[in-house]
Amino acid sequence: MFDTRPDRSDEVVLVGRSNVGKSTLMREITGHSVPTGQKPGVTRKPNHFDWASDDFVVTDLPGFGFMSGVEDEVREAIKTDVVRYLEANADDILVGVLVLDGKAAVDIIDRHSGDDEIPHVVELFYLLEDLGITPVVAVNKMDKVDDRDERLDDIADRLGLLPPWKQWQDTIAPIAAKHGRIDPFEAAVRTHLEDAKRHDLKKFFA
């Protein structure tokens, strides 16, 4: 179980599969360097950033799914710990950011969709909703996607959100974190902070 959380009351968490760019997005949000790597699974423990004086922390939770050279049991344990972390801190998490790879997400979801199987990504989206955590889906690496709107419509559809995706702009945010293009994500988070009456935290997503 991850037990490294700083003693801060309000939190924004980043979750998702390995190698989708969570740590890169974290760096854009905080302005602090975050360990990133070419190999999936670089982040094994939560990275917490409570750099601000406000009673607030941003957390990058470890990625799940395929990790080169990592045993199945370890991968499953990480996924279980991510779920437990969300459950344990749900009351304090203002926004749960599900980061997807815009180029690969639809294929990955479809590959894992079976009669008795819900893809991890979809499962995580529903888990956030079930726990009362406001989800924002940051669809990353959109600079590599040609059929932008079609791809985002497909992602919305897979998450049970009726396309077109543009009616879900408080939930689905196309970004290219590596290039610093995260405005739709910041706008979505600001909207939810307003809803939570936390106008004081909007400055971190501006």
Rounded distance, CA 79 to CA 61, Å? 10
Residue 3 inside a domain? The answer is no
**What number is the average pLDDT over the span 162-172?**
97
Rounded distance, CA 93 to CA 17, Å? 19
Strand order in the sheet with 134-140: 47-49, 56-60, 10-16, 93-101, 134-140, 172-174
Q: Which of 73-77, 168-172, 176-180, 202-206 has the lowest mean pLDDT?
A: 73-77
**What number is the average pLDDT over the span 164-176?**
97
Q: Which one, of 176, 7, 14, lies nearest residue 86 by Cα?
A: 14
Q: SS3 of 140, please? A: strand
Q: Which two tokens stand for residue 160?
A: 């049970």
pLDDT greater at residue 127 or residue 77:
127
Average pLDDT value over all residues in the chain: 88
- The whole-number pLDDT of residue 38 equals 45
pLDDT digits (tens, 9 = 90+) for 183-195: 999 999 999 999 9
Residues 183, 181, 58, 166, CA torsion sign: positive
Looking up tokens 């406000």 gives 54
**What number is the average pLDDT over the span 3-19?**
90
pLDDT digits (tens, 9 = 90+) for 90-107: 999 999 999 999 999 999
- The whole-number pLDDT of residue 117 equals 64
Residue 4 inside a domain? The answer is no
Residue 92 inside a domain? The answer is yes
pTM: 0.91
Residue 145 inside a domain? The answer is yes
How many domains are there within the chain?
Answer: 1
CATH for 117 = 3.40.50.300
Residue 63 inside a domain? The answer is yes
Residue 185 inside a domain? The answer is yes
- The whole-number pLDDT of residue 63 equals 86
Q: Which structural domain, as residue segments, surrounds residue 152?
A: 10-205
pLDDT surpassing 60 at residue 155: yes
Q: Which two tokens stand for residue 129?
A: 């909703």
Could you list the beta-strand ranges (E) of the chain.
10-16, 47-49, 56-60, 93-101, 134-140, 172-174
pLDDT digits (tens, 9 = 90+) for 29-56: 998 876 554 444 445 688 898 888 889 9
Residue 142 inside a domain? The answer is yes
Which residues lie across from 63 on neighbouring strands? none
* Distances in whole angstroms, Cα of residue 175 to Cα of each of 6, 48, 91, 109: 28, 22, 27, 19
